[in-house]
Amino acid sequence: MRLRPGRPHQGVAADLEEAVPRRRDPRMVGVPVTGLTDLQRERYVRNLDVVGMGEEGQLRLLASSVIVIGAGGLGSAVLPYLAAAGVGRIAVVDGDAVELKNMQRQVLHTDLGRNKAESGAERLRALNPDVTVEEFAEYLTPERARELFVDYDLVLDCTDTFGAKFMLSDAAEAVGARLIWASAVGMQGQCSVFGVPDANGDRLYLRDLIPEEPADGLYPKATDIGVLGAMVAQVGALEATEAIKLLAGFGEPLVGRVALLDAAAARWSYLPLRKAR
């Protein structure tokens, strides 16, 4: 998914914040008063058995909301796992249409020429009736991103360009949104959790990892070196796992670290990350 470029970032300048109030920053979603139904207990029984999750965590998931930007390769892994896990409200954002060259990795879709947000939303509704699915068949601007982000508990970046990723991170930082960031190209992938306080109380975002958007051509793209669908799915599954942990309120989030996948060597490693001063 490609997004329209905005103005250059100026340290998350005041003009990004003046029109949009900063969202609340819950460490976890509140638990509803009512419990699970018998059908929900049967559907989510394997979730309930996970250490740290339990019924309370599942209820938090059902009461939570996420917005996923991009329904391509990463989104094809992220979206169905979030829906299957019982995240109660999922927004899918993508202005692109399905092409034949997408099909080796974008397994969420079956119909060529159809908008990806609409196609993905239809699949999620069929997968889990507990989930409310919203679709936005559009390319985001910085202003639109900030407008949408304040309405959700968590933002997931499943886009595939530096321009999109920097714009989404800047928008999330401006409104105080929590953001799960990932990228995947060739046989390599990266993932981290932004906007959640680290051990020093700092909220990290993409510019703490990469201060400025790289010049075009500095890093290889999928159009240059390809991208393996199964590798993208590994990174997307990690994104979904981090989202579920944050929303359900258990486990240690991927904060202050960047997970690095070298699929060619079957190796995961981790890069420490601190606030850029």
Q: How confident is the model at residue 32 (pLDDT cuts 50, 70, 90)?
A: low
Residue 24 lies in a domain: no
pLDDT at 19 over 80: no
Residue 13 lies in a domain: no
Backbone angles phi, psi at 224, to 5 degrees: -95, -45
Q: Is 186 left (phi over 0), alpha (psi -120 to 50) or beta?
A: left
Residue % of the chain over a pLDDT of 70: 88
Residue 17 lies in a domain: no
- Residue 73 vs residue 8, higher pLDDT: 73
Segment 91-95 shows an average pLDDT of 98
d(CA 83, CA 95): 21
- Please tell me the total count of domains within the chain: 1
Q: Is 256 left (phi over 0), alpha (psi -120 to 50) or beta?
A: left
Residue 259 lies in a domain: yes
Q: Tell me, what's the pLDDT at 221?
A: 80
Residue 38 lies in a domain: no
Q: Tell me, what's the pLDDT at 4?
A: 43
Q: Tell me, what's the pLDDT at 223?
A: 81
Residue 142 is encoded by which pair of tokens? 């910085």
Residue 6 lies in a domain: no
d(CA 53, CA 227): 34
Q: Tell me, what's the pLDDT at 257?
A: 98
Q: Tell me, what's the pLDDT at 29?
A: 55
**pLDDT tens digits, one per residue of 234-269:** 999 999 999 999 999 999 999 999 999 999 999 999
CATH for 123: 3.40.50.720
Segment 183-204 shows an average pLDDT of 97
Q: Tell me, what's the pLDDT at 31?
A: 53
d(CA 92, CA 135): 5
Segment 97-101 shows an average pLDDT of 96
pLDDT at 20 over 90: no
Contact at 8 Å (CB) between 178 and 194?
yes
* Residue 201 Cα to chain centre, angstroms: 22
Q: Tell me, what's the pLDDT at 10?
A: 37
Strands 257-262 and 267-272: antiparallel
Helices (H), 14-115: 38-43, 45-48, 54-62, 73-85
pLDDT at 274 over 70: yes
Residue 158 lies in a domain: yes
109: containing domain: 43-272
Q: Which helix (H) or strand (E) holds 152?
A: none
Residue 11 lies in a domain: no
Name the pTM for this structure.
Answer: 0.88
Contacts of 233 (CB under 8 A, 6+ apart): 73, 76, 77, 105, 107
Q: Tell me, what's the pLDDT at 30?
A: 54
Q: Tell me, what's the pLDDT at 215?
A: 85
Residue 71 is encoded by which pair of tokens? 């329904």
In the three-class reduction of DSSP (H, G, I as helix; E, B as strand; rest coil), residue 192 is classed as strand
